[in-house]
Amino acid sequence: MKLDLKKLKLGDQLLFETKKEKDVRHQIVETRDLIELVKKLRKKKRKTQEEIAKYSNLSRLAVGEFENGKSDIRLSTLLKILKSCDLTLEIRE
């Protein structure tokens, strides 16, 4: 199942949670917001694109293309990327 980031509606909220910081909410208004947030959190966790790629069974190039908004990824892949950074995803109405 692919996560079509383009179908996120204005004001949809995604909850990213780390093991240390519970209940940290980020409002996603555009697809780019989600991509930038994932990239920012990856860097905050000091993970390289190469490490994320290896864990997620992707190439480093695929991770870079996702972070640059050049490709969509499957929901399962996004969840692997988040898990590799000790993050979870929750979508609320």
- The domains of the chain are located at 5-92
Work out the average pLDDT over 59-66. 93
CATH of 5-92, one of 1.10.260.40, 1.10.3720.10, 3.10.20.70, 3.40.50.740: 1.10.260.40
pLDDT in the model for residue 24: 63
- The residue that leads in pLDDT, 82 or 13, is 82
pLDDT band at 84; cut points 50, 70, 90: confident
Q: What's the burial of 36, exposed, middle or buried (CB within 10 Å: 0-12/13-18/19+)?
A: middle
Convert the pLDDT of each residue in 8-62 to its tens digit: 555 555 555 555 555 566 777 777 888 898 899 889 889 999 999 999 898 999 9
Q: What's the burial of 81, exposed, middle or buried (CB within 10 Å: 0-12/13-18/19+)?
A: buried
